[in-house]
Amino acid sequence: MSAFNGSTSNLTQIQYLVDRDAPLKTFLPVSSCVIFLYVNGVMIFTLRKKTYFQEVSRYILFGHMLWVDTLNLLMSVVLFVCAVSRIFVMKIACLILLVSATALYQVSIINLALMSLERYVAICIPLRHAEITTCGRTNMAIGVVWMIGWIKSLCEIIIFYSVDTNAAMYLFCSKTTFFRLQVHKQLDIAFACVFFISVCFIIIFTYASIAAVAKTASGDKMSAKKANKTVLLHLIQLGLCAASILVGVIQEAVYVYTDYMTSMTVMYFCFVTFMIFPKCLSPLIYGMRDQAFSSLFKYYFTFGLKRKNSCNTEIHLAGGG
């Protein structure tokens, strides 16, 4: 998963438990990260190559998700490698990593709600879709998302410098070792509840609304059903984000009540399953479900070998542009 609240807290126990299999256990997330960073890079390159993709709100939000997930992926793996390798990090560098990870996590969650709302407008208010989801308004919405996403990080910085200033100059970089006070835990719980309840409500509302349109629509049922599946994917991804927070609680219980090897296995499995793979796979799933984008993506991914598909895409975009 992305670098986020859960990812940093879930690494706490890993930081103090180093075994002989550390290089092998590091290889899987790092190699997966490298592969999907390339995939995300090609997707971003594809979006930048066509003006059409830069002017449609759906693709703008998809590109924003790619950038956020890519940064999440990088930070998650950096924190993981530091933890497994028992690398001490300077206090200021750790603070920057953690607050940035928190902001990216919040932005990632809110962006899911924004993408669902865009699909809701496209299906439920089709006549006003072009008016509501203009390029300028979409970029403004993304700006608001980033402002909201940084609120918690700014609160953590203020609390740290005003209350908790006794952290060592070099330390293991994890949320639970850096933000140690009870007020930080209360802040985590408060923001987690507000963000997840709000985003979950928006996604469920859009899912139900699009489902109702899909049942009653006489003309474009296929578009409505496809949009409903997209929103359902957003809901599943939100569930994985929620699971990543619960994983921290599970890992602490496992560490207390089981032996060393069992706890290490469970912690490593949770990190790879809930932190790495969801962020790796979700952009690929969304991108491959769009015919226009997937054809052009395959063309660039294979270094121009799929020329026929690329030509078909050019025709499709020219006709729909």
Q: How high is the pLDDT of residue 167? A: 60
Q: In this predicted model, which residue has the larger pLDDT, 95 or 309?
A: 95
Residue written as token pair 């290889």: 27
- Name which of 167, 163, 63, 148 is nearest 110 in CA terms: 148
14-to-115, 250, 251, 257, 268 alpha-carbon distances in Å: 34, 13, 10, 16, 8
Write down the pLDDT at residue 142. Answer: 94
Query: Tokens in use for 316?
Result: 């499709």
* List of long-range contacts for 317-321, beta carbons under 8 Å, 24+ apart: 317/50, 317/52, 317/292, 320/52, 320/292, 321/52
- CB-CB contact of 66 with 283 (8 Å): yes
pLDDT tens-digit profile of 189-233? 788 788 888 888 888 888 888 888 877 765 556 666 777 777 777
Q: Is residue 147 scored above 90 in pLDDT? A: yes
Complete domains list, the chain, with CATH: 5-289 (1.20.1070.10)
The pLDDT-based confidence of 294 (bands split at 50, 70, 90) is confident
pTM: 0.79
For residue 190, the model assigns a pLDDT of 83
